[in-house]
């Protein structure tokens, strides 16, 4: 079963599904099934953290480069899209809500690094600590 997992993932998944449907649980590749289940959870975690990083970066650019806001409205669209996608992830995986507090400092730190790189501004231009709450950042009414 390990060979199939390593060489033909699709066929491995179909085989596991068939075994479950047939009640042949003793034949399941439990080690790899557990690995895949854990991986799915990590994937949602990373997706949400990435959405928050992009959101924070664009909120920083919005606040610290107001003269560039009107250039095609792309920052506004990006902010709206990241908020929407973050809400979708949380709707699909509500268990991530209790992980948000741990995500925020990492997401903000990376957002500062990316905003500095994209704007050419020094990282010290931006606040060391996130200047808005999570609720503010996610609010469709909030524009710093």
Q: Encoding tokens for residue 51?
A: 């959405």
Residue range 7-50, pLDDT digits in tens? 999 999 999 999 999 999 999 999 999 999 999 889 999 999 99
Residue range 93-102, pLDDT digits in tens? 999 999 999 9
pLDDT at 141 over 80: yes
Q: How far apart are CA 85 and CA 91, in angstroms?
A: 10
Higher pLDDT, 140 or 2: 140
Q: Which region holds residue 29: left if phi is over 0, alpha if psi is between -120 and 50, else beta?
A: beta
Question: What per-residue confidence (pLDDT) applies to 72?
Answer: 59
Question: What per-residue confidence (pLDDT) applies to 57?
Answer: 97
Closest by CA to 53, choosing from 102, 97, 111, 105, is 111
pLDDT at 69 over 90: no
Q: How far apart are CA 10 and CA 23, in angstroms?
A: 20
Percent over 90 (pLDDT), the chain = 88
Q: What is residue 133's DSSP assignment?
A: -
pLDDT at 73 over 90: no
Residue 135 dihedral angles phi and psi, to the nearest 5°: -60, -40
CA 126 to chain centre: 22
pLDDT-derived band at 70 (thresholds 50, 70, 90) equals: confident
Q: Encoding tokens for residue 74?
A: 């792309």
């Amino acid at each position: 079963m390990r060979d199939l997992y390593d060489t033909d993932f699709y066929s491995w998944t179909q085989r596991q599904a068939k075994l479950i449907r047939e009640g042949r649980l003793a034949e399941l590749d439990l080690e790899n099934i557990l690995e895949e289940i854990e991986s799915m959870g990590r994937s949602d975690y990373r997706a949400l953290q990435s959405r928050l990083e992009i959101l924070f970066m664009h909120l920083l650019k919005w606040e610290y480069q107001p003269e560039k806001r009107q250039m095609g409205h792309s920052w506004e669209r990006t902010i709206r899209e990241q908020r929407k996608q973050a809400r979708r992830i949380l709707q699909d995986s509500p268990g991530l809500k209790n992980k948000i507090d741990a995500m925020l400092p990492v997401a903000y730190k990376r957002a500062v690094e990316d905003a500095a790189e994209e704007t050419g501004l020094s990282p010290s231009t931006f606040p060391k600590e996130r200047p808005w709450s999570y609720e503010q950042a996610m609010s469709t009414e909030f524009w710093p």
